[in-house]
Chains A and B, each alone.
Chain A
Amino acid sequence: MSTLQAGTAPAAAGPSVPRRGRGLLRRTIFHNATLAAGSLLILLVVIIAIVVPLVSPGGATALHPAASLTGPSGSYLLGTDQLGRDLLTRVAAGYRISLEVSLGSVGLALLLGVPLGLLAAMGPRRLGGMIMRLLDVLMAFPALLLAIVVVAMAGTGTGVLLLAIGIVYIPVVARVMRAAALNTSKEPFVEAARARGATFGRLVLRHVAPNSLGPVVVQASILMAVSILLEAALSFIGLGVQPPTPSLGLMLSSGRDFMASSPWVVADPGVAIVIVVLGFTLIGDGLQDWLDPKKRVIGR
């Protein structure tokens, strides 16, 4: 109740500037636990990815043969693998790769998918149909299979991985963008802008696009989670990051043989994947609630 009053007070006070900034952040965290929890998990992941490699002696590929397959302890917080490499350092380095690949691939998908979706919704009907049919073909392939094809053609490596996953998600982003833009283009304010003599480009860029990005942002957050899984899967089957570069999927795959005697070797990267995927999924869910006016507790 008190927050409700806090939200309406500035309007009643008249000429004061609408409240934004810290107030918004605070309200969001209190009223959207999902978004807050997801953000905390991702913050944790980012801190691990940045800080641990800085303080770890020797780095992710340093071998300590004498200490191979030791369990979690004071000197090795998450234990070591079969070559005596510190698993915490390797998880942190793996996070770096995961975040690089997922940010890059989702960024690529947004960069191409958003304009394509806008064009399909707002451009000439025939062009729109053509774009969507092409994307349908792309979408008909299972994501993993499509990524494997790209890797098979272009070879392995982080850059190729990023490209492969990005291409897979272009149609997903484009479809969401198209649907949102089609909805927005029927809004009265778009017609009002036309009645004021707005050009086509202006209609699309200033009136339709900014009011259609909400669902795309939600989708992008979910895609971050899925692309981390896809990267792990590709690395697991040997088509992603190549050893000795650490990657969560690669750690899972090379640790399989020691799973029975030293479970932490696979538990560490496994739990690490769960944390980051859960984080991005929660952020996506939270954003969806936050952007949905019907669920917004105090929107205005």
Chain B
Amino acid sequence: MTMLEVTNLTVRYRGAERLAVDQVSFTLGPGEVLGIVGESGSGKTTLAMALLGLLPPGAQVAGSVRFDGQDLLRSSEKQLRKLRGSQISAIMQNASTALNPSFTIGSQLIALLRRHRRLSRQQARAEAVSWLGKVGIPAPESKLSFYPHQLSGGMNQRVVIAMALALQPRMVLADEPTSALDVTVQAAVLSLLRTLIDDSASAMALITHDLGVVAQMCTQVVVMNGGVVVESGPVSELFVAARHEYTRRLLASLPGRRPRPSSLHPAGGST
């Protein structure tokens, strides 16, 4: 059973020669975690924005993106707004700038809960505290009155994850959720995300340039280069026997997989 079905999705920005995303197709079912891998400029973020219907006004889009049978590319802004947050949610790249600096994290989380669900102030507050606890924020009750700038990047990223999951969406889009964090915090945030996804049986599309993250998190993987999907399939197969030359070079450029102190191997894709 598929939840998300992307068929021949193509995006071109106004004035650009090259297609940002070229004929991309994949499917995603409940409980699956799809890794979308590629280096900077390979069209990963454009793909994510297209899935949310948040492409800038000048972008031309073709193909189809079906979520539970509804074509997101042909839905009105109002229909999309109903899906965003409650059915499909997103975790943005840089947590510290993804939170509104003028309001406390408590007020942002409570407002989100109350907007999508019928909750009293006390109920929403209790729910917010429980979510902050679930994402591993110590003393969550007292953190409600903190502003984003009073928390560390790792804590902010947890708040962002709590906001993305609080409405129990069926699909989560995570765009480099850990790239702004240092390595130890990264591992903690990722395993937390994995646990939460497993618990709720939702699906996740994880955009990253880090194959290590893919190995840790994902069941399926799509490798992109220059807007085109060069390889896709289950993660286990990709790591054992990559078919495409670009994927093999991506794998070879991973540090520590095959120790070759004499040479570095940039993947050298066409971007």
Contact = CB atoms under 8 A, between A and B. Distances in A.
Interface string B35-73: 000000000000000001010000000000000000000
Tell me what chain A mostly uses at the interface: helix, strand, loop, or mixed: loop
Interface in A41-73: none
A292 B145 CA distance: 23
Interface in B66-108: 81-86, 89-90, 92-94, 97-103
A191 interface: yes
A217 B98 CA distance: 25
B8 interface: no
B145 A193 contact: no
B139 A188 contact: no
Contacts of A187: 97
A53 to B, nearest CB: 40
Nearest to B83: A197
Q: How large is the interface on B (under 10, 10 to 19, 20 to 34, 35 or more residues)?
A: 35 or more
A189 B54 CA distance: 14
A196 B163 contact: yes
- B54, B100, B111, B116, most chain A CB atoms within 10 A: B100
Contact of B97 (A17, A189, A194): A189
B138 interface: yes
B93 A188 contact: yes
Contact of A194 (B54, B101, B145): B54
Q: How large is the interface on A (under 10, 10 to 19, 20 to 34, 35 or more residues)?
A: 20 to 34
Interface in A8-42: 11, 14-18
A175 interface: no
Given A15-B139, A17-B142, A191 B84 contact: no
A211 interface: yes
A126 interface: no
A194 B115 CA distance: 13
Contact of B84 (A197, A207, A210, A299): A197
A188 B102 contact: no
Contacts of A299: 149
Q: Which 5 pairs between the two chains have the least Cβ-Cβ distance?
A: A197-B85, A197-B84, A196-B85, A15-B142, A195-B90
